[in-house]
């Protein structure tokens, strides 16, 4: 997600500074290079040696004749982004007032003047976060193009955002915004069909791919709505659903303002007439299953011109069979492209998929060799984050080609 990105990490004197060693490690695990800058107060909480160990770079604790702030964050500086995490009320206020009395605030003024992206992760007690002057400073910074990893307000504190949220905002600040101005609706995970208040029919889908696609679209500038039976996420507006009917209703409503739909959810194909009380163990049981409506068919009927990306899971493990079924689905519903994959990877972190576009035909299977590309078919292997990025990039090209 951050491959090749240079991050200047500004650390200020919040107790949340204790998390920055692990944050630096996480940024590097995602591919970034990191150099740390601290305020004097921050060094009372996390030792510069710890940040030096985490980043494998010397830590800037003072601005000297080497003009470290310009070397890092100037117009031709090393950093692709300045990340201030944690950012105290003191530092936020100084940034808004162009007060440069610490290495971090001096880097911030330099970055803002040089149009270097700035991401801020505030952390302070809740009454400080609610102070009119702090809120005004945050509004000022936002008007200047600063982006935020919003804090988690709990236990009377505005706690620093978790690593996933911070990394995502850094990625959004440094990734070409090929989906900017677009509202993308993404479905993810399995649905549940109730037999009784306790028992359900479902499947093995984890939702990892759908959530990764939602995040990849957000990173590329989109506004994202995620429809799933899962947690709140920092990169999308979440619509929580359980059943196929609920997912269909929520998705069709969201698509009213959507520019594209990525239908990654493994929606139940059948539903049962649920009973209102628990079926006793040992009781005779038979189920009359009825097919559920096909989500992409319903959305296509309501929104004839909406670009839709479909997913097609097969158990054969054969590329030719997957391409054949993907082409049938693409043509039947009029999809922008289809992500075809082997169902055996459900729940795994790594996967391999075929992106079957409009130029693909069933004869493409004869041209597909190893990991190469055939006409209309793109082979993608790696983590689900890698696959999601390629799906989002292809969607960007589809939307850019729309009249």
Give the burial class of 268: count Cβ atoms within 10 A of its Cβ; 0-12 exposed, 13-18 middle, 19 or more buried. Answer: buried
- Residue 22, φ and ψ in degrees, nearest 5: -70, -35
Q: pLDDT (tens digit, 9 = 90+) per residue, 153-163?
A: 999 999 999 99
Give 342's strand partners: 314
Task: List pLDDT tens digits, range 323-339.
Answer: 999 999 999 999 999 99
**pLDDT of residue 363 exceeding 60:** no
Tell me the pLDDT band of 370, cut-offs 50, 70 and 90. Answer: very low
Asked if 105 and 38 touch (Cβ cutoff 8 Å), the reply is no
Mean pLDDT of 352-379: 68
CA distance 228 to 112: 38
Report the predicted TM-score, pTM, of the whole model to 2 decimal places.
Answer: 0.91
Average pLDDT (248-276) is: 93
Higher pLDDT, 211 or 402: 211
pLDDT in tens, 25-45: 999 999 999 999 999 999 999
Taking residues 75-79, what's their average pLDDT? Answer: 97
Q: Nearest Cα to 354, choosing from 342, 366, 367, 336?
A: 342
pLDDT at 143: 97
d(CA 173, CA 63): 26
pLDDT at 86: 97
Distance CA 38, CA 57 (A): 13
Judged against a pLDDT cut of 70, whether residue 175 lies above it is answered with yes
Instruction: For residue 327, give the nearest of 371, 295, 366, 357 by alpha carbon.
Output: 357
Cβ atoms 355, 392 nearer than 8 A: no
CB atoms within 10 A of CB 269: 14
Q: With cut-offs at 50, 70 and 90, classify the pLDDT of residue 371.
A: very low
> What is the pLDDT at residue 367?
54
What is the helix, strand, coil percentage profile of the chain, to 5?
Answer: 40, 25, 40
Mean pLDDT of the chain: 92
The average pLDDT across 159-184 equals 97
Mean pLDDT, residues 2-23 taken together = 97
Q: What is the pLDDT of residue 247?
A: 96
Per-residue pLDDT tens digits for 103-151:
999 999 999 999 999 999 999 999 999 999 999 999 999 999 999 999 9
Tens digit of each residue's pLDDT (9 = 90 or more) over 272-287: 888 888 888 877 778 8
Give me the domains of the chain, ranges plus CATH numbers.
6-174 (3.40.50.1950), 183-400 (3.40.50.10300)
pLDDT in tens, 216-244: 999 999 999 999 999 999 999 999 999 99
pLDDT given at position 372: 46
Q: 160-166 long-range CB contacts below 8 Å, 24 or more apart?
A: 160/14, 160/16, 160/19, 160/85, 160/86, 160/121, 160/122, 160/123, 161/121, 161/234, 162/234, 163/22, 163/23, 163/26, 164/234, 165/234, 165/235, 166/23, 166/83, 166/85, 166/119, 166/121
pLDDT attached to residue 318: 82
What pLDDT is attached to residue 233? 94
Q: CB under 8 Å to 130, separation ≥6 — which residues? A: none
Q: Is 198 helix (H, G, I), strand (E, B) or coil?
A: coil
Q: How much is the pLDDT for 316?
A: 75
Region 88-102: mean pLDDT is 96
pLDDT at 46: 97
Q: Among 22-36, 196-210, 294-308, which stretch is predicted with the lowest mean pLDDT? A: 196-210
Kindly state the average pLDDT of the residues 245-266: 97
């Amino acid at each position: 997600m951050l491959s090749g990105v240079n991050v200047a990490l500004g650390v200020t004197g919040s107790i949340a500074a204790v998390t920055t060693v692990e944050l630096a490690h996480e940024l590097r695990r995602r591919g970034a290079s990191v150099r740390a800058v601290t305020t004097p107060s921050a060094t009372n909480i996390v030792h510069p040696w710890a940040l030096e160990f985490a980043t494998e770079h010397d830590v800037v604790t003072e601005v000297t004749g080497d003009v470290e702030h310009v070397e890092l964050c100037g117009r031709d500086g090393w950093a692709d982004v300045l990340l201030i995490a944690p950012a105290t009320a003191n530092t936020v206020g100084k940034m808004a007032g162009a007060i440069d009395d610490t290495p971090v605030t001096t880097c911030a003024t330099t970055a803002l003047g040089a149009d270097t992206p700035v991401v801020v992760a505030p952390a302070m007690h809740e009454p400080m976060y609610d102070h009119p002057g702090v809120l005004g400073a945050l509004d000022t910074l936002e008007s200047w193009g600063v982006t935020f990893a919003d804090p988690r307000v709990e236990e009377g504190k505005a706690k620093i955002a978790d690593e996933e949220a911070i990394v995502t905002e850094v990625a959004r600040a440094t990734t070409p915004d090929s989906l900017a101005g677009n509202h993308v609706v993404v479905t993810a995970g399995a649905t549940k069909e109730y037999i009784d208040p306790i028992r359900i029919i479902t499947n093995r889908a984890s939702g990892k791919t759908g959530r990764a696609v939602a995040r990849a679209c957000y990173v590329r500038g989109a506004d994202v709505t995620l429809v799933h039976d899962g947690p709140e996420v920092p990169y999308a507006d979440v619509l929580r659903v359980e059943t196929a009917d609920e997912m269909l209703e929520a998705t069709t409503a969201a698509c009213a303002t959507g520019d594209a739909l990525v239908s990654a959810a493994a929606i139940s194909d059948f539903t049962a007439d649920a009973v209102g009380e628990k079926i006793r163990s040992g009781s005779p049981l038979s189920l009359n299953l009825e097919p559920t409506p096909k989500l992409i068919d319903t959305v296509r009927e309501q929104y004839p011109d909406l670009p839709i990306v479909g997913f097609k899971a097969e158990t054969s493990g054969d590329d030719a069979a997957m391409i054949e079924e993907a082409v049938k689905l693409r043509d039947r519903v009029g999809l922008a492209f289809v992500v075809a994959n082997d169902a055996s990877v459900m729940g795994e972190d790594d996967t391999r998929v075929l992106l079957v576009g409009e130029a693909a035909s069933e004869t493409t299977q004869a041209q597909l060799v190893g990991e190469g590309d055939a006409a209309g078919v793109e082979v993608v292997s790696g983590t689900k984050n890698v696959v999601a990025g390629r799906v989002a990039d292809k969607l960007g090209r589809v939307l850019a080609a729309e009249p």
